[in-house]
Structure 1
Amino acid sequence: MSHSLTILKIGGAVLQDEAALSAALQFFTGMPGQKILVHGGGRKASDISRRLGIAPQMHEGRRLTDAATLEVVTMVYAGLENKRLVAQLQHMGTNAIGLSGADANIILSEKRKHTTVDYGFAGDVISVQKAPLQALLGAGLAPVCCAITHDGQGQLLNTNADTIAAVLAAGLAADYHVDLLYCFEQPGVMEDLSRPDSLIQELRPDSYARYRAAGVIAGGMLPKLDNAFRAVNAGARKALIADLEGLRNGGGTTIRL
């Protein structure tokens, strides 16, 4: 395990703010060592869905994906957003290559099963194929991975982008020193979004459970943190949730065991 690998996931609000996106991509370009960029595009997908008369539906921060919504998210995630990021990174000097989970079979998923909620064509990851990613990284390419996977039977699936970042970190942790960075619009995990001084600087499993039970941490932050813990449990060296300033200056919320 001689190489470092940084996996940076950028959130929907960053994607929709051109200045913030440019700064995040510049940060990614300047990161030393091998690297992977992971992105979603949920806000753009929701916007286009509404324009098409398809009402977005969410449950505990995760999108319910019927057949029509799957078409929209595939077009947005694997098409518009993915290629826009690749083009901008090429302009900045990073030789990027855009991927879905179906490309080179890198991420295999299964349709989510739930006792009470029908998530539709939402996918839960079964496996990550390391060899194609290692080949791309070894060739000096920076994979740009979107939130679309497949089931190996020809069916595309919508998979949470935070999950994509975490399973890549977990899958590659045995072969690299992996740092997982989640970049979004807040300074980190906050006790109260209206109070800038309420940043939670560190979360461990016991403190996370307390905050979650009290409703302090809820909604879309839940899958992000569940996945951060998943990555560090699997051997990732570090997981950090922060805005770009925090990533640059050592701020944000650090996830530890």
Structure 2
Amino acid sequence: MKIHVVKMGGHLMNNHKSLHNSLKAFSELQGHKILIHGGGKKADFISKKMGIPTKVIQGRRITDKETLDIVVMTYAGIINKNIVAILQSYHSNALGLCGADGNCIQSYLRKISNIDYGYVGDVNVKSINTHLIKFLLINNIIPVFCSITHNGMGNLLNTNADTIASYIAISLAKDFEVELHFCFEKKGVLQNVQDSESYLKKINFDLFKKMKKNHTIANGMIPKLENAFFAFQNGVDKVSIGLPHHLNDVNNKTVLCL
């Protein structure tokens, strides 16, 4: 059984037309599939309207109690249910979930080191309820996960959606052929952020480290690529980064390689 694990984020979640086009492309993927989404741009917009400041360090959101309420409302509510409704319109029978639903993803509170990220959860392979996910897939139900998890003690936690996607892909790769797709508003990993056509067709870990050191890539792209390479190095068959309408096109996105 082949499984596509697709993470969608960035401006795709915040633009009506882009979201519809992205989900149409997702629905056209052949075989079993799983969707994971964030929604940081939408959460930032709602935070601003409510007069609550947004703080991000090294591409990762600081989540205090007020921010947690906003991201739960935004990710698990507004965005997740809109995605499910749109997928149903494309005859894709989706089920919207957060990590607490069915104990799908149980995380643990990130330890405070030099940065206190607040109500942020980290995950590992044991966090993923593969039994339930496989049950849904076998019954032709498409799981749609937002990036809200739980710690098993009654608390919801904000978790990086790229990380969730990577660990879901890794946990399923033990038994299935898994392709992991990171979809956002760019054609791939750009060599020049000012040039949207400068995307790399392939990238290996050494090149990633070099681009990171030279600050060619920065901010949210760093944790995205860290998660992508972690998945690729831990059993996931194929990992790519690019536009959603290139999900089935290997020639127009960045593909990870050895």
Category of TM-score, reference length = shorter chain: over 0.9
Q: Identify the match of residue 26 of structure 2 among 4, 25, 28.
A: 28
Which position in structure 1 is the counterpart of 2:183? 183
Partner amino acid for 2:23? L
Unaligned 5+ segments in structure 2 are none
Q: Distance in 2 between matches of 1:205 and 1:72?
A: 35
Deviation at 1:199, TM superposition (A): 1.4
**SS of equivalent residue, structure 1 residue 107:** coil
Partner amino acid for 1:89? L
Alignment of structure 1 residues 65-214 onto 2, 5 Å:
65-126=63-124, 127-214=127-214
Deviation at 1:207, TM superposition (A): 1.1
Are the aligned partners of 1:77 and 1:147 in contact in 2 as well (CA < 8 Å)?
A: yes
Task: Report the TM-score when normalising by structure 1.
Answer: 0.96
Which position in structure 2 is the counterpart of 1:53? 51
Are the aligned partners of 1:229 and 1:256 in contact in 2 as well (CA < 8 Å)?
A: no
Q: Distance in 2 between matches of 1:197 and 1:153?
A: 47
Q: Distance in 2 between matches of 1:249 and 1:96?
A: 24
Q: Distance in 1 between matches of 2:161 and 2:138?
A: 24
Are the aligned partners of 1:189 and 1:253 in contact in 2 as well (CA < 8 Å)?
A: yes
Decide which moves more: 134-143 or 108-117.
Answer: 108-117
Which position in structure 1 is the counterpart of 2:40? 42
Are the aligned partners of 2:25 and 2:247 in contact in 1 as well (CA < 8 Å)?
A: no
Are the aligned partners of 1:203 and 1:256 in contact in 2 as well (CA < 8 Å)?
A: yes
Are the aligned partners of 2:186 and 2:196 in contact in 1 as well (CA < 8 Å)?
A: no
Q: Name the count of aligned residue pairs.
A: 255
Q: Distance in 2 between matches of 1:154 and 1:245?
A: 38
Which position in structure 1 is the counterpart of 2:9? 11
Are the aligned partners of 1:12 and 1:44 in contact in 2 as well (CA < 8 Å)?
A: no
Are the aligned partners of 1:189 and 1:200 in contact in 2 as well (CA < 8 Å)?
A: yes
Partner amino acid for 1:190? L
Unaligned 5+ segments in structure 1 are none
Deviation at 1:111, TM superposition (A): 1.0
Deviation at 1:137, TM superposition (A): 0.5
Q: Distance in 1 between matches of 2:159 and 2:33?
A: 21
Are the aligned partners of 1:148 and 1:157 in contact in 2 as well (CA < 8 Å)?
A: yes
Question: Does 2:233 match 1:229?
Answer: no
Are the aligned partners of 2:187 and 2:197 in contact in 1 as well (CA < 8 Å)?
A: no
Deviation at 1:248, TM superposition (A): 4.1
**SS of equivalent residue, structure 1 residue 56:** coil
Partner amino acid for 1:91? S
Report the aligned-residue RMSD: 1.1
Q: Distance in 2 between matches of 1:108 and 1:245?
A: 31
Are the aligned partners of 2:29 and 2:247 in contact in 1 as well (CA < 8 Å)?
A: no
Partner amino acid for 1:110? Y
Residue 85 to residue 105, structure 1, CA distance change in 2 (3 Å):
same
Deviation at 1:129, TM superposition (A): 1.3
Q: Distance in 2 between matches of 1:242 and 1:116?
A: 33
Q: Distance in 1 between matches of 2:37 and 2:101?
A: 16
Partner amino acid for 2:43? A
Which digits, 9 at most, give the CA deviation of each residue in 1:72-131, with x for residues without a partner? 000000111001100111111000001111111111111112421110001110321110
Task: Report the TM-score when normalising by structure 2.
Answer: 0.96
